[in-house]
Amino acid sequence: MDLYDRVLGCLSTAAMGDALGAATEQWTTAEIYAQYHGPIRTFHKPPPDTFAAMARNEAGEVTDDASQMLYLAQMIIETGGRVTEEAWISCLLRWAAESPKVANMGPSTRAVIEAVRAGRDPYKVNTVGQSDRQTTHMGVTNGAAMRIAPVGLVHPGNPAEACRDAVVTCLPAHNTQRAVSAACALAAGVAHALTDDADVFSVVRACLDGAALGEELARHDSRIRLVPGPRIESRIELAATLALKARSREEAMGTLESYIGNSVEISESVPTAIGLFVFARGDPLESIVAGANIGNDTDTIATMAGALAGALRGFSRVPQDLYAVFRAANQFDLEGIARGLTEIALRRRAAGTENRTRS
């Protein structure tokens, strides 16, 4: 499949998932079904009791999730594919200064941005008592994973390199081995999904391998904190197994919520998103519909499930009528960003082929 089609498919499905879930965030599945007379499948203006309403979102608009993803993508294009901590922090600050979606900002990202602006050490935010040790809940939310897709997109067929770049984007707000493992799981899954022989199960295998590599990389990086909590790899394996057993969308959503969870916590939302991708058999629309209806952190879960599905199936499998509504509601140049990322991905793929030929 054409690489540009896969890249645009990933970005568009992830962003559409974000916009779809913006109208249901923090609700239960029962409340969603009651409000929309069944599962939400089209864009709606976020009700007053959702976070997206704080940013005055209209129907079809993205939240901070896809907004940060696209800022990261633009940074990667501007640097020619080089992901450095300095460039990433500068990008994050630019997003916080420019984006109208900062009202949706997550707790870990907000704390770090405020520290950097004040000239304080971002690695000393939310410390325990009089010590320099950060609290265990700092850096275990899903901000690093929700935006990571562009890193995978510029490393087609090279999940390991995607993971190495993903580590950088976890700094300094999500500098824990759990956040790194989760971000690497999705980056690796996206990178593998771009290959011609990828399928749903090989993508999940790549996510599992990425989670394991991410945790290993984190344990050898002095900037990364080791914190207690579930291993992401184990949670992904459980989520995929539960999803395979489900006989309906409602059963998949209910089982994943019960056994894994659907909150902003990294060990809940990331494995659950992968599980919903499995249940939907990688279908772009069904992946984001499941994410938007599972309740709680719906926009983020739908974003992540959508990133995997869109990278695997491509833009040609995205419902064009729904995309037209989405495109009209947002001002960013999604096609231009996809072209920029594709150019970098093609150069890297060509360089990898040349190196293998020489060896």
Q: Can you give the pLDDT at residue 1?
A: 61
pLDDT in tens, 200-216: 999 999 999 999 999 99
Centre a 10 Å sphere on the Cβ of residue 75 and count the other Cβ atoms it contains.
21
Type and span of the H or E element at 215: helix 200-219
- HSE toward the beta carbon, residue 233, CA cutoff 13 A: 15
Tokens of 129: 């008592």
Q: Can you give the pLDDT at residue 353?
A: 63
The class that CATH gives domain 3-124+139-358 is: mainly alpha
Residue 298 buriedness (CB in 10 A; 0-12 / 13-18 / 19+): buried
User: What distance in Å separates the CA atoms of residue 16 and residue 37, rounded to the nearest whole number?
Assistant: 21
Instruction: Give yes or no for residue 283 having a pLDDT over 80.
Output: yes
Interhelix angle for 284-293 vs 266-279, to 10°?
140
Instruction: Give yes or no for residue 55 having a pLDDT over 90.
Output: no
Instruction: Give yes or no for residue 357 having a pLDDT over 70.
Output: no
CA torsion, ordered 292, 294, 300, 302, to nearest 10 deg: -50
| Matching residue, tokens 């990433």 | 88
Type and span of the H or E element at 34: helix 29-36
Give mean pLDDT, residues 306-320: 98
Q: Can you give the pLDDT at residue 191?
A: 98
Place 359 in a pLDDT band, splitting at 50, 70 and 90.
Answer: low
For the chain, the distance separating the N- and C-terminal CA atoms, rounded to the nearest angstrom, is: 27
Q: Can you give the pLDDT at residue 174?
A: 94
pLDDT in tens, 123-170: 887 777 767 777 777 789 999 999 999 999 999 999 999 999 999 999
Contact between 9 and 283 under an 8 Å Cβ cutoff? The reply is: no
Q: Can you give the pLDDT at residue 343?
A: 97
Give mean pLDDT, residues 282-303: 98
Q: Which of 34-48, 49-63, 95-109, 288-302 has the lowest mean pLDDT?
A: 95-109
User: Residue 228, preceding bond cis, omega within 30 degrees?
Assistant: no
The pLDDT > 70 percentage for the chain reads 97
